[in-house]
C-alpha cells in the first residue's frame, strides 16, 4: 500500500480538519508533540504542534502528515495528491472546495482522458489533481 505523508508549517490540524470535511475522511490520529513520551520532550513553544496525523478516506486511501519546524519546512513541489472520483459532479465539488482559498492551476473540465479533471494548490500549499476518469481509463 502506498500512502502520502504531508508536511505542514504549523497548519496540519487545520488542514486535516478541512480535508475531513471536504473529502469525507475520518481522522484516526492527531498526536501532539506534548503527547510524546517523557524521553522525547516537545520543543518549547511547539507543544501543540502535530507530531503525527492519520486520516482514512472513504475509498480506502490514507493521508498522513505532521507539522515541521520552519527551518525544516520546504514548499511542496514536484508532486500532486491525485484524487480519483467516479462522479464528475462530485469531482467538481471536491475540486472547488480544495481550490477555495488556494490557486487553480487547471480548471476542472472534461478532457480526452477524463469526464472531469482539474489541478489546484489548496490554501495549505498542497498541490492536488482531481480526476474523474473516462470509460476505459
List domains and CATH numbers for the chain: 4-71 (3.30.720.100), 81-133 (3.30.720.110)
Q: Is the pLDDT of residue 1 over 80?
A: no
Chain segment 20-62, per-residue pLDDT in tens: 999 999 999 999 999 988 888 888 888 899 999 999 999 899 9
The count of other CB atoms within 10 Å of the CB of residue 120 is 24
Determine the average pLDDT of the residues in 116-125.
98
pLDDT of residue 13: 97
Contact 15, 50 (CB under 8 A): no
User: Cα(53)–Cα(124) distance, rounded to whole angstroms?
Assistant: 15
Give the model's confidence band at 107: pLDDT under 50 very low, under 70 low, under 90 confident, else very high: very high
pTM: 0.92
Amino acid at each position: 500500500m502506498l500512502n502520502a505523508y504531508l508536511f505542514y508549517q504549523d497548519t496540519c490540524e487545520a488542514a486535516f480538519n478541512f480535508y475531513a470535511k471536504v473529502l469525507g475522511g475520518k481522522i484516526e490520529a492527531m498526536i501532539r508533540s506534548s503527547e510524546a513520551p517523557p524521553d522525547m520532550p516537545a520543543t518549547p513553544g511547539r507543544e501543540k504542534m502535530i507530531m503525527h496525523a492519520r486520516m482514512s478516506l472513504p475509498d480506502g486511501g490514507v493521508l498522513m502528515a505532521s507539522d515541521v519546524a520552519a527551518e525544516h519546512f520546504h514548499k511542496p513541489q514536484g508532486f500532486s495528491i491525485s484524487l480519483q472520483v467516479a462522479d464528475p459532479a462530485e469531482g467538481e465539488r471536491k475540486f472547488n472546495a480544495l481550490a477555495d482559498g488556494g490557486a487553480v492551476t487547471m480548471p476542472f473540465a472534461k478532457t480526452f482522458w477524463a469526464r472531469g479533471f482539474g489541478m489546484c494548490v489548496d490554501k495549505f500549499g498542497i498541490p492536488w489533481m482531481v480526476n474523474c476518469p473516462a470509460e476505459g481509463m
